[in-house]
């Protein structure tokens, strides 16, 4: 089947899934009572046969689980607890061209599913939990960076707690979250690819995950600053651990913004009691014209050093530029190019070029086709081309 025939087949097949979409974007667990006239169902406490306590599973109102005769716990959900749900279906063809007739052009499909839970205890804090599942790591669709979990089981992907400190400072702590969780990168390009979505801020925007702590400060008038740290949960902040640190400054105006980010990441196990440390600085900026019809432009450049403790400390760099047309028909159109991997000093850069169009079918469903080409200059390595479609549902 020709590639363009497959392009027509993929969205059509995914369109069969549209009955799964829903128009609501947020669900308040305390509003479940609006959908049932059942006041309560009493169930015997199956955890203690000798107990006279009973568990009530409510159909709404005060929560999913009500009191079980406890003076200190009412079993109800907070009135500010919300859950949002999302699902993505992927289809794509990935060409691995070695200049001959050997092409990997199989049509690949996959999915992911996510649950985002949010609770506020004071009205100004936020406890956030992300739960994911999926199988979106196949070559034909991996550029969309979908979630993949072992045995496609629901897994707690990230948990963070954010709270204010005074009027201008914000503190965040969490697990499996990035050190840069509170950073602001001056980029308005919204491309869906995993390679170019960092806008050139690839390494300085430290994303090593693990246990994290960060703080941000709002100076007012669009000026902000943030710091962050993340490391190994089993070996926190010592010589054997792999830690990452970063600091970020950003200014955001009405039509433009600029940010500077510094990141330092320990890479690998110590060698002769010395830890390899990679350091990077990234500068990003964007401009959005006030007149309609013109695209916004986002640019980014990053430079740093591979702090190898054996061999040479090679200089590394990344580059990015992207254009976003906000109103093309009913959707958004974008074009971008940038380095697909770190450019090592005194070597040729390897670029990626992409185009996407994201358009909403309704309030809960969006389709995003993506076409990209990767210029691979390394000897005996194939150039790559991909055509992919993502259908996103929110409910």
From first to last of its 395 residues, the chain has per-residue pLDDT tens of: 444 344 334 443 444 333 333 333 334 434 434 433 433 333 333 334 443 333 332 233 333 333 334 444 455 556 788 999 999 999 999 887 655 444 567 899 999 999 999 999 998 999 999 999 999 998 889 999 999 999 999 999 999 999 999 999 999 999 999 999 999 999 999 999 999 999 999 999 998 878 999 999 999 999 999 999 998 887 776 666 678 999 999 999 999 999 999 999 987 655 545 678 889 999 999 999 988 789 999 999 999 998 765 456 679 999 999 999 998 989 999 999 999 999 998 888 999 999 999 999 999 999 999 999 987 665 455 678 999 999 999 99
DSSP symbol at 268: S
DSSP state of 33: G
Gyration radius (Cα) of the chain, Å: 24
- Coil, strand or helix at 360: strand
According to the model, what pLDDT value does residue 270 have? Answer: 55
Alpha-carbon span 118 to 121, nearest angstrom: 10
What is the DSSP annotation of 183-230? -----------TTTTTTT-SSSS----SEEEEEEEEEETTEEEEEEEE
Q: What angle do CA 226, 230, 232 make, to 5 degrees?
A: 175
Cα–Cα distances (Å) from 212 to 224, 228, 262, 339, in that order, read: 20, 7, 17, 28
Write down the pLDDT at residue 130.
97
Predicted local distance difference test score (pLDDT) of residue 268: 61
Contact 140, 94 (CB under 8 A): yes
Q: What is the pLDDT of residues 323-333, one digit of tens each?
A: 999 989 899 99
The Cα–Cα gap between 235 and 214 comes to 18
Rounded to a whole number, what is the distance in angstroms from the first to the last CA of the chain?
35
Q: pTM for this structure?
A: 0.76
How many whole angstroms from its chain centre is CA 95? 25
Place of tokens 């990230």: 158
């Amino acid at each position: 089947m020709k590639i363009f025939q497959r392009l027509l087949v993929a969205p059509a097949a995914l369109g069969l899934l549209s009955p799964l979409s829903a128009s609501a974007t947020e669900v308040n667990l305390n509003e479940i009572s609006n959908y049932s006239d059942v006041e309560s169902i009493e169930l015997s406490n199956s955890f203690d046969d000798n107990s006279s306590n009973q568990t009530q599973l409510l159909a709404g109102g005060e929560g999913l689980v009500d009191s079980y005769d406890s003076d200190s716990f009412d079993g109800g959900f907070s009135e500010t607890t919300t859950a949002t749900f999302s699902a993505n279906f992927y289809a794509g063809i990935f060409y691995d061209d070695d200049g001959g007739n050997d092409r990997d052009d199989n049509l690949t499909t996959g999915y992911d599913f996510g649950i985002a839970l949010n609770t506020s205890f004071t009205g100004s804090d936020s406890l956030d939990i992300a739960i994911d599942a999926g199988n979106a790591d196949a070559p034909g669709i991996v550029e969309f960076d979908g979630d993949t979990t072992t045995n496609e089981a629901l897994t707690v992907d990230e948990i963070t707690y954010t709270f204010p400190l005074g009027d201008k400072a914000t503190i965040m702590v969490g697990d499996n979250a990035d050190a840069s969780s509170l950073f602001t990168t001056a980029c308005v390009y919204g491309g869906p690819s995993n390679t170019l979505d960092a806008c050139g801020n690839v390494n300085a925007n430290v994303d090593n995950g693990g246990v994290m702590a960060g703080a941000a400060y709002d100076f007012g008038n669009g000026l902000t600053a943030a710091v962050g740290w993340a490391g190994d949960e089993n070996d926190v902040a010592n010589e054997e651990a792999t830690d990452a640190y970063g600091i970020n400054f950003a200014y955001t105006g009405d039509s433009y913004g600029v940010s500077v980010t510094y990141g330092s990441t320990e890479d690998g196990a110590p060698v002769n009691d010395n830890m390899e440390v990679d350091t990077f600085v990234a500068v990003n900026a964007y401009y959005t014209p006030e007149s309609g019809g013109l695209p916004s432009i986002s640019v980014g450049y990053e430079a740093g050093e591979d702090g190898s403790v054996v061999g040479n400390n090679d200089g590394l760099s990344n580059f990015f530029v992207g254009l976003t047309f906000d109103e093309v028909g009913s959707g958004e159109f974008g074009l971008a190019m940038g380095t697909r991997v770190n450019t090592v000093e005194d070597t040729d850069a390897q670029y990626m070029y992409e185009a996407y169009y994201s358009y909403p079918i309704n309030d809960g469903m969006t389709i995003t086709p993506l076409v990209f080409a990767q210029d691979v200059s390394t000897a005996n390595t194939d150039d790559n081309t991909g055509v992919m479609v993502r259908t996103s549902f929110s409910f």
